[in-house]
Amino acid sequence: MPATALKCRECKTEYALEARYVCEKCFGPLEVAYDYSALAGDPDHQRRRIQAGPQNIWRYADFLPLAGGSPGASTRGASRSGLPAGCTPLIRADRLAAELGLNEVWVKNDAANPTHSFKDRVVSVATHRARELGFDTLACASTGNLANAVAAQASALGMRSYVFIPSDLEEQKILATGVYGTNVVAVKGNYDDVNRLCTELSGERDRWAFVNVNMRPYYAEGSKTLAYEIAEQLGFRTPDRIVAPIASGSLFTKIAKGFEEWLELGIATGELPTMNGAQALGCSPVATAFENGHDVCRPVKPDTIAKSLAIGNPADGPYALELARRSGGKIDSVTDDEIREGIALLARTTGVFTETAGGVTTATLKKLADRGDIDPDERVVIVITGEGLKTLDAVRDSFTTHTIEPNYDAFEAEFAVAGSR
Amino acid sequence: MSVKVKIPTQLRAMSGGEGVVTVEGSTVTEVLDALFAVHGELRERIYDDEGGLRRFVNVYVGGDDIRFEQGLDTPVPAGGEVQILPAVAGG
């Protein structure tokens, strides 16, 4: 495997590939460092190798930080690697594009993962690395989707799990977590309180793999697979623009890292896409810092229906800001009403029903299009990270149901006005 | 006024292995200065060159992030708890 060390993003101090996430010298975040020299020089071979791989994220195992490569013997169609994530559809959304005055918009529908969000990708990588390191218990601090993914992956692999969530989370996300037989810990506080507790706990429970605390460097790498897939699905080309949601900023920055790795190795052609970040106005520390020209984010107390993005103290905020600026992109925020409209817009033009976070992303695409930020000929990909069935309250009472008696005349009477014969 | 300071595992090599240090002080600055008087090496891990909190260090008083309060001037009640944690987790 080409992963060589954990390296501090700030002071570049290197550490062994263990369960650690923070630099002991400067407290900066640790990232996986790679030596790709063995993969350089023959992109055709590398592309063929990827295409012959399994229909899940392990087709990209050469670029992920597992010592043993792809876990379990997977064939193209079958997997022996727990609950496999990835290979989600990339859908050309011509009706959405037309409505926004654009020519080419694609929807990367990551709700098509096993627990219906992109979190299955990051959890797969963190979990398999945790197993390599000898852990038998998984844990996480979650706004909901991660809890689903950790609980399911733990069950698939026969591991113990503890998931920590804010107690006011959407009921659908709590139910879709508890069903897997995990330990659901509802913390009386917001996500940042949950995260503080888990940061402290991870220091005391050294036999627990907290996927987004002590396993965070490995976990974060899983998001690169979104970029690899998008590029592969577009014929090993990068799109012109990505619109993706920002909570901690990890997904946003790792999508760019994935593209940059493949561009450097010649596996994909093109350039780094313009990176547009999307936040909810009620929790927009990164968008606010972007607008004010700041390099760091001032934490906020979240108040938005987009609970999966409700991180008031985003760990990767500074890096998301740096990336948006470097790629010519922006970071915008949208109101809760715009989020609901975004969910409806995506649903009625593409048939994809997304959760509130996808509403944020779609509404941000619309905002960019309305503002004239997007050249109509650009190839734009929006990253839809989660499933609408998990945030049903966002669409409650948003349409009329026709309730009628079970007979022909009642139907005719109801629809006579509409004249829909 | 006696205050408990919780030290994260990453910094315990500099606190003699202690996870909790009891010091005196009525603001975060006073509490941290008292902590540094006992464990001097901690200063440069927690403060940057300008004497402010490092970018990736979070400090909480009674569970509340001091950036929502008065920063390093945030008062610490007698018998209160100051917690130092890495900021890069989660998401």
**Among A residues 202-261, those touching chain B with beta carbons less than 8 Å apart:** 202-204, 210, 212-213, 216, 220, 247-251
Q: What is the nearest CA distance from B49 to chain A, expressed in angstroms?
A: 11
CB-based contact (8 Å) between A371 and chain B? no
pLDDT at res. B1: 73
pLDDT at res. A41: 83
Helix (H) or strand (E) holding B57: strand B57-61
**Is B57 in Cβ contact with A200 (below 8 Å)?**
no
- Nearest CB to B88 within list A21, A193, A251: A21
DSSP structural state of residue A40: T
Place of tokens 């996430």: A21
Closest CA to A210 of A62, A366, A20: A20
pLDDT band at residue B47 under the 50/70/90 scheme: very high
Phi, psi of B69 (to 5 degrees): -105, -125
**Is A248 in Cβ contact with B91 (below 8 Å)?**
yes
pLDDT at B91 over 90: no
Strand partners, A97: none
For the stretch B9-40, pLDDT in tens is 999 999 999 999 999 999 999 999 999 999 99
pLDDT at res. A418: 58
pLDDT at res. A55: 92
ipTM, interface predicted TM-score of the complex: 0.94
With an 8 Å Cβ cutoff, the interface of chain B facing chain A consists of 6, 8-11, 13, 45, 54-58, 60, 63, 65, 67-68, 83, 85-91
Q: What is the nearest CA distance from B36 to chain A, expressed in angstroms?
A: 16
For the stretch B76-89, pLDDT in tens is 999 999 999 999 88
Contacts of B57 in chain A (CB under 8 A): 27
Contacts of B43 in chain A (CB under 8 A): none
- Nearest CB to B91 within list A204, A316, A318: A316
Three-state SS for A234? coil
pLDDT at res. A39: 84
Count how many residues are written for chain B. 91
Residues of chain A with pLDDT under 50: none
pLDDT at res. A44: 96
Distances (CA, A) of B60 to A204, A293, A372, B41, B65: 18, 27, 43, 20, 4
A264 burial via Cβ count (<10 Å: 0-12, 13-18, 19+): exposed
CB-based contact (8 Å) between A196 and chain B? yes
Helix (H) or strand (E) holding A152: helix A145-157
**Is B9 in Cβ contact with A141 (below 8 Å)?**
no
**Is B89 in Cβ contact with A202 (below 8 Å)?**
yes
What radius of gyration do chain A's Cα atoms show?
21
